[in-house]
Amino acid sequence: MWHSSCAQPPSETDGEITFVNAENYSVKTATVATIGGQARNSKNTLTAKWLDANCGDVKPFAAPAAKK
Residue 22 lies in a domain: yes
Centre a 10 Å sphere on the Cβ of residue 38 and count the other Cβ atoms it contains. 7
Per-chain mean pLDDT for the chain: 92
* Full residue range of the structural domain in which residue 6 is found: 2-47
E-strand stretches of the chain? 2-6, 11-21, 24-35, 38-49
Residue 57 lies in a domain: no
Q: Is the pTM of this model over 0.75?
A: no
- The pLDDT value recorded for residue 41 is 97
Nearest alpha carbon to residue 28 among 37, 18, 38: 18
Residue 24 lies in a domain: yes
Q: How confident is the model at residue 56 (pLDDT cuts 50, 70, 90)?
A: confident
- Report how far residue 1's alpha carbon sits from residue 3's, in angstroms, rounded to the nearest whole number: 7
Residue 61 lies in a domain: no
Number of structural domains found in the chain: 1
State what percent of residues in the chain have pLDDT above 90.
69
**Residue type at position 2:** W
Residue 60 lies in a domain: no
45 or 57: which carries more pLDDT confidence? Answer: 45
